[in-house]
Chain A
Amino acid sequence: MPGALPAPVVGRPALGRWVFLLVPLLVLPVPFFVNRYIQYVLNLILVYVLVGVGFNIVIGNLGQLAFANVALFGLGAYASGILVVHAGWPWWTTVIPAGLVGALAGALASLPALRRIRLFYLAIMTMAFGELMRWIYIRAEPLTNGSMGLAVPPPVLLGVRLSSDRSKFYVFLALAVLAVVLTSSLLRSRFGRAFMAIRDNELAAAAVGIPTDRYFILAFAWSGFVVGVGGAMYTALVGHVTPEAFNLLELILHFAVVMVGGLASLAGSVIGAVVLTTTPELFRGFPGVQELVLALLIVGVLLFLPRGLVSLLSLRLPLFRERYYRE
């Protein structure tokens, strides 16, 4: 088949999928053993888990070159920030609205694809959308405080102020686990199969009765929701939302998370989030080196490991082959 990746690894997992829930459990005590900086990085990883999971749905599972992810991330971040700063809502109540804003914008971003705009045209258009949003953030000063950025007070959860990174960690961890579990449920159903059917052969997908337009919108909307929630987490983590945070460099980071981790793989999104958050941190303080390392990483993966790092694991452990059905 044209443009196909090398065949994925096969096999029914010997162990249940419960082993994946072990990871969050194992990670629970970690905040008590790390310093503030590492705690911050861990929190950032969790934000990018949502970014990766969300983005992967559109470019991995649905297989579309839609680069609106950063725009959705930014919208979620600003939505949360604006509600906290201007409407006085406590942070935890802005999480769902941020997701909804992302979902709505995601659905909007899918519309050109419905008009059969695909491949590079869709990529260019969604990139333009992202840059346009950034310009809007800069110009919508009353709401967003323009280029100076929106300063957001520490997040509040049910009356409790989450001022330390450690307290944020547990909330973020819960959100990340939820994002992965819910997305996994979605993918292991006729919805997930429909997304991938559209990716693999859109004509055949229609021929088996899948209303492709509807599922396009759905995939983009769910992706937008997850990424929007990630944006709200970002606002809570960083406390300062600026337009510069959502530029094309950020887009490449999102790509890297998905491609280095593994396209269309939930485990891959998590792995990608870990690798792509920690690696730039290693080079913080050396402007330009971060980008060079990132570029090398992406090129390396594209040339030698097109299925991402998760494919290394799949070779050893059939566990990592994702199944898209329930039995």
Chain B
Amino acid sequence: MCAFPFRASVFLFKHLRCEEQSQARGKTIAHDFLAIAQEADARGDPPNAMASTRHSSTLGVFHLFLVAIWSAAASTDTAAQSMSPTNIFAPVSTSAKSIFGLSIFVLAVTAAIFVVVFALLTYSVVKFRKRANDDGREPPQVYGSNQVELAWTVIPVLIVVALFMATARVIADVQKTARPDNAIEVIAIGHQFWWEYRYPALGVVTANELHVPVSDSNHPTPTLIKLLSADTDHSFWVPRLAGKTDLIPNHPNSMWIDPHQTGLFLGQCAQYCGTQHAKMLLRVYVQSRDEFDRWIQEQRRPAFASDAASRGQRIFETTACINCHTVAGTVADGRFGPDLTHLMSRDTIAAGATPNTPQNLRLWIRDPEAIKPGSLMPAMELNDQDLNALTAYLETLR
């Protein structure tokens, strides 16, 4: 009889997992759970033995908890999403989901502690108020009680042990995941105040808008992001995809994401890096495999050569622009600022600070302080004709 809830939860769990199609290669707690259930099924083990084979009962409870949580999560996901596109409670990738599971467990434990202690505190300040008809005598003086002290030492210690074990498990899951062979590798380099992205194996260099393929549960294709910095400390935080990891000069970090849904995911730099830290925004486009491959092909091409905008191109190549910017296939090969080869393929400019429209682009070149005061793009001091020509040229960089 006691086997039933366990079997039921395994069934529910399997059902959920199929629904989400998110069987990532990275070892997650859920994956272990499923694997154990399947192995045990195959062996014909009785459920009780299964519960104790690999896990202590504490972790067993934790796993059951996760099942309940993930079923709740599936239904509240849309609610979480509608509250905010950067809601940490709307994860779409395995590591974000592991964190989510742990966070619900921690929230539940702390909520329980809160309810109990809050109730005791409220009771004591109400019950032991000095009454109006007080006789003025001091109440009985109680100096302490060893048993009581022991009790409220041991119970917190046990709670800490449970929390710690759950936490240690998730740390190991996220940090020690073996890297699968077909992971897409991206090198993200943090700059003041923009993001540089390089796909070394695919020969692509771009800026500020990261494109990754969606990760299918049957054939997971996670993206491994190596995090470097060209100047100060930054932090890559797209809440729905993963916890944040810092970009620190001379201290390479790495993280991985395997988004299970396509779409645009937002975030921003989360480590104060200077004046325009606030507008170092993140946009991660998760695309189907076909769309992603197409995007890669487009990004690999050198810049469109266009006669119509040659005056603008001449201005670009003879002023200081090329000191900072690269346009592949031309003489411009500066590395201080973003690669502009496919500038028009991006929805925003200035690391998400403003939409990529001709007016905004023109304004950005004329007066960057108007859009992002304190950014390191200098005002180019061009006259109107040159500015128009230059903007027209940049508009051809699709």
Is chain B a partner of chain A in the same complex? no
Q: Could you tell me which A residues sit within 8 Å of B by CB distance?
A: none
